[in-house]
Structures are given as C-alpha cells and as structure tokens.
C-alpha cells in the first residue's frame, strides 16, 4: 500500500498559487484553472501527497468555473469539513492524507449520478494520464478511467 502524505519537499515544490490554494485554503479565480477544460483520460491526484482523488471519466461541465466531479475515486482520500468562512455555511473538501484544501462539495450535482458536485481547484491537483497510471503506481484505478468526453 502506498504511503500518501504531506512532505516538506512536496510543499516546497508548489508554485505560489498552488501553495495559496492547498496550504492557505485559497480559491482560484473561476474559469482560470489548468484542468477546467481537460478532456484527457486519467486521474486527478493531490498535488502534495499524490493520493488519488477523482477520475476523468467522472468529470463533468457544471458551469461553475472549476473542475467538477460527482464523487471521489477513493472516498477514504477525501475529508469533508464544515466551513463557515465568508459568511456562509459550506462543506470544505480536503485530501485526507495530504491535508490539502481541494475545494467544496455542494448538493446541486447531477441527480442521476448521486446529486453531488465536488467543485475542485486545479491548483490542488496533478493530472496523471491513463497511459502513465501504471508506471506511476495508479494501475489499480485503470478500470475507473474510460475515454473522457466531459459530460454536460
């Protein structure tokens, strides 16, 4: 079993924007994230710990300005916390092992896929292409990645 965790080296390698988002619970400006329009098959992992988070085949276009998913690829790798910042009550999403701020989850996702919308900052993620998954230790998730055609 892989040991997914935050290391000083991984945090030091972050860009200023990745650091602000993952370590300071920041948010990218809507429509600006690197993976918003990504349609390649693969998985999204925590940029700090490498823990698998979301599959490209689950990604859908929600219109919110951030990559959206109806569910995590590995529920144990996602922690949900009450967030009362900015004068509202939301559910923050963090990576369970890396403790990176990922974004928020809302209950307005596609009803036929569970009704959730995990609204995730690209700066929190690293994308692993399907062709690279086995070599990078993510072969166990290949069955969850199909050709991506981002769903509307």
Q: Which two tokens mark 66? A: 């951030």
Active-site positions? Answer: 119
Q: Output the CA torsion 75→149→46→114 (10° steps).
A: -20
- How many other CB atoms sit within 10 Å of the CB of residue 20? 17
Q: Which two tokens mark 59? A: 């990604």
Q: Which residues contact residue 146 at a Cβ distance below 8 angstroms, ignoring those fewer than 6 apart?
A: 41, 57
Task: Return the H-helix or E-strand segment holding 53.
Answer: strand 52-55
Length reported for the chain: 152
Q: Which two tokens mark 96? A: 């369970």
DSSP letter for each residue of 137-148:
T-GGGGGG----
- How many other CB atoms sit within 10 Å of the CB of residue 101? 24
């Amino acid at each position: 079993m892989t040991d997914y965790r935050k290391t000083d080296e991984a945090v030091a390698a972050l860009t200023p924007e990745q650091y602000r988002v993952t370590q300071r619970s920041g948010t990218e400006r809507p429509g600006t994230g690197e993976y918003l329009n990504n349609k390649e098959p693969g998985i999204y992992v925590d940029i700090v710990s490498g823990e698998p988070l979301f599959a490209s085949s689950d990604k859908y276009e929600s219109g919110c300005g951030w990559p959206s998913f109806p569910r995590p690829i590995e529920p144990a790798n996602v922690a949900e916390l009450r967030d009362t910042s900015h004068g509202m009550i939301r559910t923050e999403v963090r990576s369970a092992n890396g403790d990176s701020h990922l974004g928020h989850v809302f209950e307005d996702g596609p009803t036929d896929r569970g009704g959730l919308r995990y609204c995730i900052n690209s700066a929190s993620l690293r994308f692993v292409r399907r062709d690279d998954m086995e070599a990078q230790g993510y072969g166990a998730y290949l069955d969850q990645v199909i050709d991506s055609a981002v769903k509307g």
